[in-house]
Chains A and B, each alone.
Chain A
Amino acid sequence: MMRQNSAPPLASRQPRPAMSSIKQSRQPLSPSRGESSNAMERRGVGGGGVGGDGGVGEAVAEEKEEEPYVERLPADLLAHVLTLLPSFYDLAMAGGVSRRWRWAVERSLAGRRRLSFAGQRTGDDSTARLVRAAVNLRDLDICWGCHVTDQGLLKISTADCVKNLTSISLWGLAGITDNGVIHLVISTNVHLQLTELSTGNFSPQKITGDFGLTTQCVLYLVKC
């Protein structure tokens, strides 16, 4: 009950500015956006409440007499389920299931406070895209294995949520240099303490220094 009530604010928060690049990169998808949310009204919310009245999609009804249960879940509950998925692999897979699910994944991203890319081979574009969708993000973790370069950090630094971040972890990224880190740090717009966990502390001024970021190097930024 409570979750359903919280739906409208969440939904209205969703088509935010600064998602421009998502929209761009998904041009072919954008016409379906409105459509799929309509379909959801019909299938998910309507079907969930009253038990699948006549409106259940023409095409769907033809192929299967009975709609799968999970498809009748109200959109908020589906999004809630998806926020419980621990890894990005699962989340990406869920996003590839159907249009309704893709929409729910976006919605669940919007509610996330913490994202961890640890161990995922995400590239610049996909990392930035996901970070942009996570408008309520507070804690960003880009760790081992990510194929993120300065370009990626640059893109991430333009995301809306970046100025609200309280913690960024950049562990063992081989592809980043001072340039990218500085961009990210400047756009977080907060006083940051830079700590190099493996070899001791750096003062904030040292951000501009030329410490080499290698895979051995562990970098951790925390808002003071």
Chain B
Amino acid sequence: MAAGKPVVMVTLVSSDGQSFQLLEEAALLSAMVRDTIQIGQGRGPAGIPIRNITGQTLSMVVVYCNKHYTAAAAADGDDAADEEKKVANKKQLREWDEQFINLEQDKLYDILVAANNLGIDGLVDLCCWRFADMMKGKSASEIRVKLGIRDDFTSEQRAQIEKDSPWVWSRTT
């Protein structure tokens, strides 16, 4: 946040009518907001309506954008020479990310879909990483239980799958 730069705020309005004000530069993390502003809209007092995303989810997204914007701005302000500090900051941001996304799957799902619609790549990756993390090291039936998925294979398909990759299925049975 260099001094002298005019502070421009943007308002995002969720599907249930809640408004969130944030720095335009933070909101620009979203490709959708970027496009809207580029065509000269969204700067007015009415803000940018975000369809299909509720206030609860949008508030999380706004928190993410603010955090990542301030982190990026701080990194810009730092001395380029101070590698150690950069690495430490990056690690800190990663830790923050992990804590931020440590959610149950219903909220995670909402945020992932929201991030995908808004085109915030970093947040999409983060959510996908969290989903992948939930599956890591688990057997197929454990994944099914954890995520509440129904096994819809027929017994023939199941037999074929086990035949296809015996080296994994023999470990669990």
Chain A positions within 8 Å of B, measured between CB atoms, are 1-4, 25-26, 28-29, 32, 48-49, 59-60, 63-64, 68-74, 77, 80-82, 84-86, 88-90, 92-102, 120-123, 125-126, 129, 147
User: How distant is the Cα of A32 from the Cα of B161 in the complex, in angstroms?
Assistant: 13
B112 within 8 A of A: yes
Does B137 lie at the interface of the complex (its beta carbon under 8 Å from any beta carbon of A)?
Answer: yes
The reply to whether the CB of B60 lies closer than 8 angstroms to some CB of chain A is no
Can you list 30 pairs linking A and B with CB atoms under 8 Å apart? A1-B117, A26-B164, A29-B160, A32-B154, A48-B113, A68-B147, A69-B109, A70-B109, A70-B131, A72-B109, A74-B113, A77-B112, A85-B135, A88-B168, A92-B165, A93-B139, A93-B143, A93-B168, A94-B140, A95-B165, A96-B140, A96-B169, A97-B143, A97-B144, A98-B153, A100-B152, A101-B149, A121-B167, A122-B165, A126-B166
Per-position binary interface string of chain B over residues 132-148, scored 1 when its CB falls under 8 Å from any chain A CB and 0 otherwise: 10011111100110011
| Nearest CB of chain B from residue A91's CB, rounded to whole Å | 9
The A interface is mostly helix, strand or loop, or mixed, namely helix
Category for how many chain B residues contact A: 35 or more
> B157 near A: Cβ within 8 Å?
yes
Q: A1-B31, A29-B160 are in contact. Are A81 and B132 (CB under 8 A)?
A: yes
Nearest CB to that of A102 among chain B residues? Answer: B161
Partner of A69, one of B52, B106, B154: B106
Q: Is B72 close to A, CB under 8 A?
A: no
CA distance A122 to B171 in the complex (A): 12
With a cutoff of 8 Å between Cβ atoms, the chain A residues found around residue B162 in the complex are 96
Whether A94 and B135, one on each chain, are in contact in the complex, defined by CB atoms closer than 8 angstroms, is: yes
Query: Distance in Å from the Cβ of B151 to the closest Cβ of chain A?
Result: 6
- Kindly state the separation between the CA atoms of A169 and B134 in the bound complex, as whole angstroms: 30
